[in-house]
A = this chain, B = another copy of it.
């Protein structure tokens, strides 16, 4: 059994990591931290864990060594204590933004502050298995990816890898549910204000842009025009991405690109149907699953390709992707513990 600890276990990402790992046949959750909830049962915060788990939150200072540590702390916290935390476990999987960017300067540019542990940046692997499977297998320091970044990158990267795009430019409009903003109440998340909203909370300058540049740019220049809109949903992301194809590239070529990249991926499905009402990816049927569904449609009147990429921000956009990466580093089948297929209707 892999002995796992979750640091920052009272948040939504922490709770989802626990939810998944409780059913993981090779994992035992041995500790879960929360400063403000120390001493209380996990299910006092995560009511879906009733009768599932008798663990109590502990303060971070009481962490014991274990095999794998998941860090689910607010952004900015992990970098301050990474030295101590990485000494406690063979493998550390940080689901915050603190180690996602390879270039320390990018933290100044996108996060507005210098990185506090820049020496670690080269050691962490950007932990999306579909992108960096071999590096993940060899690494003991893994970082998760931004939820909006994951949807965008998985949708767009194959097109740039296969060089079918005419312009080095993408326009992305990402729609996202309320759980992506975390578990802290404020006026913008107050139900009467947030319910039914279509809120342009980040029309420009979203921090996940940096990850898309890093992982889709592939070392060359790229213009990423990213906007994010909060809509009525708790879980779920749909990234609608526009790129412009080289002359002569047709839909069948795009099929080939995606099949080449993702044909064997257990968690990526190409969704493009001629009929039915779920012809393209839809996040609602992905709630609780680790899938990223990707679809595309070429504009018959021009060179534009629209790529639609959907996932559950708390699973493939956070906890599930982290467990998938953990499975890789531990030599387990990647899908272990991640078999939930999603609900319909829902």
Q: Determine if A323 is an interface residue (Cβ-Cβ < 8 Å).
A: no
How would residues 274 to 315 of chain A score, 1 for a CB under 8 Å from any chain B CB and 0 otherwise?
011111111111011000010101111110101010100000
Do the beta carbons of A306 and B183 come within 8 Å of each other? no
A183-B192, A187-B185, A193-B345 known; A48 vs B234 contact (CB < 8 Å): no
Tell me which of B45, B52, B188, B287 contacts A341 (CB under 8 A).
B52
Most buried by B among A197, A225, A343: A343
Q: Which of A15-23, A79-87, A142-150 contacts B (4 or more CB under 8 A)?
A: A15-23
Contact in complex: A227, B240 (CB < 8 Å) = yes
Residue A26 CB within 8 A of the other chain:
no
A39 contacts the other chain (CB 8 A) = no
In the complex, the count of this chain's copies comes to 4
Q: Tell whether A114 is near chain B: CB-to-CB under 8 Å.
A: no
Question: Quick check: B341 and A48 within 8 Å, CB to CB?
Answer: yes
| Residue contact B343 to A288, C-beta cutoff 8 Å | yes
A198-B231, A198-B236 given; A192·B345 CB < 8 A = yes
Can you list 26 pairs linking A and B with CB atoms under 8 Å apart? A15-B344, A19-B344, A46-B344, A47-B276, A47-B344, A48-B344, A173-B173, A173-B240, A175-B175, A177-B192, A183-B190, A189-B192, A191-B194, A195-B234, A195-B345, A197-B282, A198-B284, A198-B310, A200-B279, A200-B281, A225-B242, A225-B299, A225-B302, A235-B345, A288-B288, A288-B343
